[in-house]
């Protein structure tokens, strides 16, 4: 498989399962995607769709009951060398995390050790990755400034002395300490208020422009995805069922589930609008439905959907979708770009 | 279906309501000078960021909390004057649905039990057959059908959305006139959320309910309360309130404007073209250190020194619009003490 120099991460046919009492839970099933340099990929979907499991698999931090069953996670280093994260040994993985691929989790308070000052976190990271203390401090101060924090105050503070928004920005700054190529963000703006969310989104945008890292952004919030993403991947029952440029997925959605999600999401400045709910509930991942896993809830389902899983087709370059009824779905999307 | 606000007696009216809590010897003014009336069959959304007092307001309306000062009138009469059986009837009129359907339903009771307790307690059913009939009716009312599949289940056997419907059914057992829904759908997935909101809408129409809907999600507030009103709260005060379309399309208070501008939209084109408003500070002040004058002044882009940091702006009508707004720069300079 050849990998273009533009691609930093190439995930191929990744499957992850958890062992449960009733059997194997296929949480991520045959997922493939590429992440380009500087690209923001938003993974959207409802709880239980496998987006957080996918994220944990990418950084090999699955809980003990979970395992990667098959597939590759090909990471291309800045020097052009490509390595498979799935087969990395302990020490190589330890170096890969944070230095090459950093994470920002939801709920900043749980991600920061309450008995350590922010500066201890900075120095710990520096020590683990052989960065000297003075340089670590210099970089931390620079990054805190960039995320609109008062460096001197934050550097010596304990997590509880900072507000939720400040903590989330501290995490962003810490994630960038070792200049990673990839930052994975799992619902970073979910537990925060509107204006705090705004400042975090603005800060992410500004940092991206400056450092050029790629982002995998996990969210159930379509509005945040619409704003921040270059590429959107919709996940359902452990599979990426549609992936494409943000405008393609929002304005020319070809998968019935993507369209259903859009039809259920209210927009603020569009005046009165009619929303549609999705009937039923997400499927059981131990014994998923036959055919297309979405068919029991799908308004477009026809006979073939019940028996045959739809293949992933590419109707436009860069836009892939797994749905038997793409044309009918697309005809039903009434969203338009007005400019 | 806009209720006629001039001729109807409000279902409940808050007049100059203050509420404070003491935490470790520090007095926190969680609500200050709230004036709000809810009319029969009306939808009001209270929005604002955490700590703005929207939940406290909801609890005071539902009668779960008392006010520290000010008056709460129910049906035109101060709540304290209701006593004995009259008070019991009053309690039934105002119900609440909480945010977390995992915490608000007792895991040891079946759904049938959960619904039968209030029916028996308030003697709303004659006998067992009547009880069963009423429970069936309630479950059908909140779209939990067929009721026979639900009634003997325990909360953990239901999904989050179903549990929230049980909470709504429980609130309806006592035939309330008003339901406070406090972030009632914020823990539910996008696909299920809309159907619960539609159920609430239908209940409002069929049963003539008034709904006080508390949320931090402005787009959701817009959708749910399009024919009602939205009130925006900040640090314990109402800063702007008015009919939903005007609040969304023509917000007046600098804080409301900042909120509306800050919200990302589920539409790439709209969200890219949105103009954001830069605030002077990103941090919300603590409730123990509420700024003098207008509480928003340290962050407000339209801050006027010597005015905004001195005068506490009262909620007043603004000429030419339908909203009432608490901002000295927008309302005629009539400042009471």
Task: Write the DSSP assignment of B91-114 as a string of letters.
Answer: HHHEEEE-S-TTTSS-TTS-HHHH
Would residue B122 count as lying in a domain? no
Task: Judge if B184 and B324 occupy the same domain.
Answer: no
Work out the average pLDDT over B253-270.
Answer: 95
Q: Is the pLDDT of residue B5 over 50?
A: no
CA of B255: which chain A residue's CA is closest?
A: A195
Last residue of a domain, one of B219, B249, B279: B249
Interface-testing mutation among B267, B277, B280, with chain A (most A C-beta atoms within 10 A): B267
Would residue B131 count as lying in a domain? no
CA of B158: which chain A residue's CA is closest?
A: A281
Q: Is the pLDDT of residue A160 over 80?
A: yes
Q: Is the pLDDT of residue A108 over 70?
A: no
* Nearest CA distance, B75 vs chain A (angstrom): 32
Which positions in chain B touch A271 (Cβ < 8 Å)?
245, 249
Would residue B217 count as lying in a domain? yes
Which positions in chain A touch B288 (Cβ < 8 Å)?
none
Last residue of a domain, one of B187, B214, B249: B249
Which positions in chain B touch A276 (Cβ < 8 Å)?
194
Q: Is the pLDDT of residue B336 over 50?
A: no
Q: What is the CATH number of the domain that holds B55?
A: 3.40.50.300
Interface-testing mutation among A162, A268, A337, with chain B (most B C-beta atoms within 10 A): A268
Burial B125-151 (b: 16+ CB within 10 A, else e): beeeeebeebbbebbebbebeebeebb
Work out the average pLDDT over A42-70.
Answer: 93
Least confident of A199-203, B178-182, B284-288: B284-288
CA of A191: which chain B residue's CA is closest?
A: B50
- How many structural domains are present in chain B? 2
Q: Mean pLDDT score of chain A, rounded to an integer? A: 92
Would residue B150 count as lying in a domain? no
Would residue B198 count as lying in a domain? yes
Which structural domain, as residue segments, surrounds residue B234?
12-110+175-249
Task: Judge if B67 and B180 occupy the same domain.
Answer: yes
Task: Judge if B19 and B80 occupy the same domain.
Answer: yes
* Nearest CA distance, B227 vs chain A (angstrom): 9
Residue A185 DSSP SS3: strand
DSSP string, A45-76: --TTSSHHHHHHHHTT---TTEEEEEEEEEEE
pTM of the entire predicted model: 0.90
Task: Judge if B241 and B336 occupy the same domain.
Answer: no
Which positions in chain B touch A338 (Cβ < 8 Å)?
269-270
Task: Judge if B306 and B324 occupy the same domain.
Answer: yes
pLDDT computed for residue B337 by the predictor: 37
pLDDT computed for residue A3 by the predictor: 54
Number of A:B CB contacts under 8 A?
133
Residues of B with CB under 8 A from a CB of A: 49-50, 159, 161, 189-195, 197-198, 216, 218-220, 222-223, 226, 245, 248-249, 258-260, 262-274, 276, 279, 282-284
pLDDT computed for residue A250 by the predictor: 96
* Nearest CA distance, B257 vs chain A (angstrom): 11
% of chain A at pLDDT higher than 90 = 75
Q: Is the pLDDT of residue A109 over 70?
A: no
Work out the average pLDDT over A197-220.
Answer: 93
Which positions in chain A touch B50 (Cβ < 8 Å)?
193
Task: Judge if B244 and B270 occupy the same domain.
Answer: no
**Position B50 confidence tier, pLDDT thresholds 50, 70, 90:** confident
Task: Judge if B192 and B308 occupy the same domain.
Answer: no
Q: Out of A247, A265, A337, whose CB is closest to B266? A: A265
**Position A4 confidence tier, pLDDT thresholds 50, 70, 90:** low
- Cα–Cα distance for residue pair A238/A293, rounded to 1 Å: 10
% of chain B at pLDDT higher than 70 = 96
Would residue B19 count as lying in a domain? yes
Would residue B168 count as lying in a domain? no
Interface-testing mutation among B215, B246, B266, B284, with chain A (most A C-beta atoms within 10 A): B266
Whether residue A180 contacts residue A212, with contact meaning beta carbons closer than 8 Å, is answered with no
Task: Judge if B241 and B330 occupy the same domain.
Answer: no
* Nearest CA distance, A275 vs chain B (angstrom): 7
pLDDT computed for residue B332 by the predictor: 67
Least confident of B46-60, B98-112, B150-164, B322-336: B322-336
pLDDT computed for residue B126 by the predictor: 93
Work out the average pLDDT over A32-59.
Answer: 93
Task: Judge if B202 and B325 occupy the same domain.
Answer: no
Q: Mean pLDDT score of chain B, rounded to an integer? A: 92
pLDDT computed for residue A118 by the predictor: 94
**Position B186 confidence tier, pLDDT thresholds 50, 70, 90:** confident
Least confident of A185-189, A287-291, B199-203, B314-318: A185-189
**Position B179 confidence tier, pLDDT thresholds 50, 70, 90:** very high
pLDDT computed for residue B299 by the predictor: 94
**β-strands A66-76, A82-84 pairing:** antiparallel
Last residue of a domain, one of B188, B214, B249: B249
pLDDT computed for residue A339 by the predictor: 56
Q: Out of A195, A196, A272, whose CB is closest to B258? A: A195
Distances in whole angstroms, Cα of residue B30 to Cα of each of A319, B20, B79, B101, B312: 50, 5, 21, 25, 16
Task: Judge if B83 and B211 occupy the same domain.
Answer: yes
CA angle (A116 as vertex; A113, A120 as ends), nearest 5: 115
Would residue B120 count as lying in a domain? no
Q: Out of A220, A268, A270, whose CB is closest to B218? A: A268
Task: Judge if B70 and B217 occupy the same domain.
Answer: yes
Task: Judge if B258 and B199 occupy the same domain.
Answer: no
**Position B187 confidence tier, pLDDT thresholds 50, 70, 90:** confident
DSSP string, B38-77: E-TT-EEEEE--TTSSHHHHHHHHHTSS--SEEEEEETTE
CB atoms within 10 A of CB A139: 18
Q: Out of B189, B274, B279, whose CB is closest to A195? A: B279
Q: Is the pLDDT of residue B7 over 80?
A: no
């Amino acid at each position: 498989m050849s990998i273009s120099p533009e691609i930093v991460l190439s995930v191929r046919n990744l499957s992850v399962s958890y062992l449960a009492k009733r059997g194997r839970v296929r949480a991520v099933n045959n997922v493939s995607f590429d992440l380009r340099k500087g690209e923001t990929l938003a993974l959207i979907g409802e709880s239980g769709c496998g987006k957080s499991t996918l994220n944990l698999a990418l950084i090999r931090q699955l809980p003990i009951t979970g395992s990667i069953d098959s597939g590759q996670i090909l990471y291309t280093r800045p020097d052009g060398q490509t390595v498979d994260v799935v087969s990395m040994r302990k020490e190589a993985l330890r170096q890969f995390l944070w230095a090459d691929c950093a994470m920002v989790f939801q709920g900043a308070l749980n991600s920061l050790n309450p008995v350590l000052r922010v500066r201890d976190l900075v120095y710990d990271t520096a020590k683990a990755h052989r960065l000297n203390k003075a340089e670590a401090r210099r970089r931390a101060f620079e990054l805190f400034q960039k995320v609109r924090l008062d460096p001197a105050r934050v550097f010596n503070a304990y997590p509880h002395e900072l507000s939720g928004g400040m903590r989330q920005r501290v995490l962003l700054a810490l994630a960038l300490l070792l200049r990673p190529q990839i930052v994975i963000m799992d619902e970073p703006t979910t537990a925060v208020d509107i204006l705090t969310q705004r400042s975090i989104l603005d800060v992410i945008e500004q940092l991206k422009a400056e450092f050029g890292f790629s982002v995998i952004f996990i969210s159930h919030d379509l509005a945040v995805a619409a704003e921040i993403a270059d590429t959107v991947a919709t996940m359902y029952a452990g599979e990426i069922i549609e992936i494409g440029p943000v405008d393609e997925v929002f304005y020319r959605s070809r998968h019935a589930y993507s369209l259903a999600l859009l039809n259920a999401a209210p927009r603020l400045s569009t005046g009165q609008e009619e929303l549609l709910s999705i009937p039923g509930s997400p499927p059981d991942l131990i014994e998923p439905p036959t055919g297309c896993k979405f068919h029991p809830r799908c308004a477009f389902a026809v006979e073939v959907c019940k028996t045959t899983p739809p293949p992933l087709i590419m109707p436009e370059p860069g836009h892939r979708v797994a749905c038997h009824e793409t044309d009918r779905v697309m005809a039903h999307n009434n969203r338009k770009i007005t400019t | 279906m806009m209720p006629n606000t001039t001729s109807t007696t409000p279902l409940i009216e808050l007049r100059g309501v203050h509420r404070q809590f003491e935490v470790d010897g520090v007095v926190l003014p969680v609500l200050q000078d709230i004036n709000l009336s809810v009319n029969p069959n009306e939808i009001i959304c209270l929005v604002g960021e955490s700590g703005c007092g929207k939940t406290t307001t909801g609890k005071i309306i539902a009668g779960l909390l008392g006010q520290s000062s000010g008056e709460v009138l129910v049906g035109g009469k101060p709540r304290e004057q209701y006593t004995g059986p009259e008070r019991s009837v009053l309690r039934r009129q105002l119900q609440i649905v909480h945010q977390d359907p995992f915490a608000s339903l007792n895991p040891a009771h079946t759904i049938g039990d959960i619904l039968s307790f209030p029916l028996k307690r308030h003697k709303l059913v004659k006998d067992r057959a009547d009880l069963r009939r009423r429970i069936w009716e309630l479950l059908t009312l909140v779209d939990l059908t067929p009721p026979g599949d639900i009634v003997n289940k325990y909360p953990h056997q239901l999904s989050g959305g179903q549990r929230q419907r049980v909470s709504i059914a429980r609130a309806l057992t006592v035939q309330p006139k008003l339901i406070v829904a406090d972030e009632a759908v914020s823990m539910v997935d996008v696909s299920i959320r809309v159907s619960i909101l539609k159920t609430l809408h239908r209940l409002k129409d069929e049963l003539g309910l008034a709904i006080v809907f508390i949320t931090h999600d402005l787009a959701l507030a817009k959708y749910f309360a399009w024919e009602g009103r939205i009130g925006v709260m900040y640090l314990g005060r109402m800063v702007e309130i008015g009919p939903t379309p005007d609040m969304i399309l023509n917000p007046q208070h600098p804080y409301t404007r900042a909120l509306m501008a800050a919200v990302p939209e589920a539409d790439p084109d709209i969200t890219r073209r949105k103009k954001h408003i830069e605030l002077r500070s990103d941090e919300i002040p603590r409730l123990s250190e509420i700024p003098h004058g207008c509480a928003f002044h340290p962050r407000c882009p339209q801050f006027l020194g010597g005015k905004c940091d001195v005068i506490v702006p009262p909620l007043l009508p603004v000429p030419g619009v339908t909203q009432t707004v608490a901002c000295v720069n927008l309302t005629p300079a009539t400042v009471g003490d």
